[in-house]
């Protein structure tokens, strides 16, 4: 039971990287980027090939982010420069990436057990060699997710990050500030898809395998994680405990956690729900159905069908 819990927590942390990307596009940019289902396996495909070719495990992370950023740039170019509607731009990218991923890694690719991943690399073994492989996966995933979270929180406080938020809330305001809102959207899509591809990269390190169909349903997962996390944080922010914390200047930040914190929490809780359903006896090939059903349940229970929560 403990091993299952650790494994589920690790999965929740890794997939939080994907949820970060979905959070940026849906919650901040108000951009329904369906290209996520193609960008995730893109990062995975590139990583699997690089690992089999002997490339350093840690070097695969920035490379995967770079190719994901290119995918986001393409989506943004199609939408902003060519004038294609946002949802159609995402569909075009997702469709194109399916063929590109097949060209990169084929339909399936397995990384040999003798190949080092970020969880078995020399630096990690030197620091965490006393832990089991499962323990190392949990610690490394936690460090990666926290590093991305802190970087995003810092970025959202910069001028560029504030403009990114403004585009989704009030695009006209960005124009009045003499800023190109199209360029801001492009930047947001680049960051979002880079994070999604990073998620695909880490999944390959964790599972040691790539499948061309592994991107199916990742958008639903990311949206569900965002809705669950933001809903819980909204409930917490209105609670007596949060109101009490707001009265203490030192603890005020704890009364309204950042949106990235909500995303991590939502991702972990959603993975726990899926794992509970599978542990109850549902076959593994029903996982996508379970994912869709849980997402529908979350939207219905939110009372507002998730729309105001996602774009809050």
User: pLDDT tens-digit profile of 90-143?
Assistant: 999 999 999 999 999 998 999 999 899 999 999 999 999 899 999 999 999 999
Structure pTM?
0.91
**Of 146-160, 161-175, 291-305, highest mean pLDDT:** 146-160
pLDDT the model gives residue 312: 47
Share of the chain above pLDDT 70, in %: 90
pLDDT the model gives residue 255: 67
Report how far apart the first and last C-alpha atoms of the chain are (Å, whole number): 37
* 241/45 Cα distance (integer angstroms): 45
Which residues, 6+ apart, have CB-to-CB distance to 31 below 8 Å? 25, 79, 86, 168, 185, 188, 189
pLDDT the model gives residue 245: 75
pLDDT the model gives residue 173: 63
Q: Which of 143-157, 172-186, 212-226, 235-249 has the lowest mean pLDDT?
A: 172-186
- Better-predicted residue by pLDDT, 288 or 119: 119
Identify the burial level of 109 via C-beta atoms within 10 angstroms of its C-beta, where 0-12 means exposed, 13-18 middle and 19 or more buried.
buried
227: nearest Cα among 142, 305, 146, 149 = 305
Handedness of CA 87, 167, 174, 39 (dihedral sign): negative
Do the beta carbons of residue 198 and residue 47 sit within 8 Å?
no
Q: Which of 100-109, 173-182, 223-232, 235-244 has the lowest mean pLDDT?
A: 173-182
Strands (E), 132-271: 209-211
Give, in order, the Cα–Cα distances in Å from 270 to each of 9, 39, 226, 280: 10, 21, 10, 15
Q: Residue 307 — very low, low, confident or very high, per pLDDT cuts 50/70/90?
A: low
49: nearest Cα among 97, 116, 109, 102 = 109
Which residues, 6+ apart, have CB-to-CB distance to 124 below 8 Å? 118, 136, 140
Q: Which of 81-85, 87-91, 225-229, 306-310 has the lowest mean pLDDT?
A: 306-310
pLDDT the model gives residue 70: 97
Query: For 284-309, what is the mean pLDDT?
Result: 69
User: Average per-residue pLDDT in the chain?
Assistant: 87
């Amino acid at each position: 039971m403990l091993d299952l819990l650790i494994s589920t927590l690790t999965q929740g942390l890794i997939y939080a990287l994907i949820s970060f990307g979905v959070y940026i596009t849906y919650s901040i940019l108000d951009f329904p980027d369906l290209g996520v289902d193609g960008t995730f396996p893109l990062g995975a495909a590139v990583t699997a090939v690089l690992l089999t070719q002997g490339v350093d495990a840690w070097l695969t992370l920035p490379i995967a982010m770079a190719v994901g950023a290119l995918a986001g740039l393409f989506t943004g170019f199609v939408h902003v420069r060519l004038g294609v509607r946002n949802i159609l731009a995402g569909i075009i990218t997702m469709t194109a990436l399916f063929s590109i991923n097949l060209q990169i890694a084929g339909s399936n690719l397995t990384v040999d057990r003798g190949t080092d991943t970020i969880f078995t690399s020399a630096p990690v073994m030197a620091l965490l060699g006393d832990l089991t492989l499962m323990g190392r996966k949990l610690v490394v995933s936690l460090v990666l997710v926290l590093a991305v979270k802190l970087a995003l929180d810092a970025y959202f406080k910069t001028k560029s990050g504030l403009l990114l938020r403004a585009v989704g809330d009030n695009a006209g305001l960005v124009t009045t500030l003499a800023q190109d809102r199209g360029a801001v959207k492009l930047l947001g899509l680049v960051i979002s898809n880079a994070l999604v591809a990073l998620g695909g990269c880490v999944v390959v390190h964790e599972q040691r395998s790539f499948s061309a169909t592994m991107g199916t349903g990742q958008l639903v997962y990311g949206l569900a994680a965002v809705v669950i996390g933001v809903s819980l944080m909204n409930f917490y922010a209105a609670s007596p405990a949060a109101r009490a914390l707001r009265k203490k200047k030192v603890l005020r930040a704890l009364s309204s956690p950042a949106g990235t914190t909500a995303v991590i929490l939502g991702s972990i809780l959603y993975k726990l729900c899926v794992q509970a359903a599978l542990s109850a006896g549902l076959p593994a090939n029903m996982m996508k159905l379970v994912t869709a059903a849980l997402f529908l349940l979350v939207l219905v229970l939110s009372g507002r069908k998730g729309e105001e929560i996602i774009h809050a």
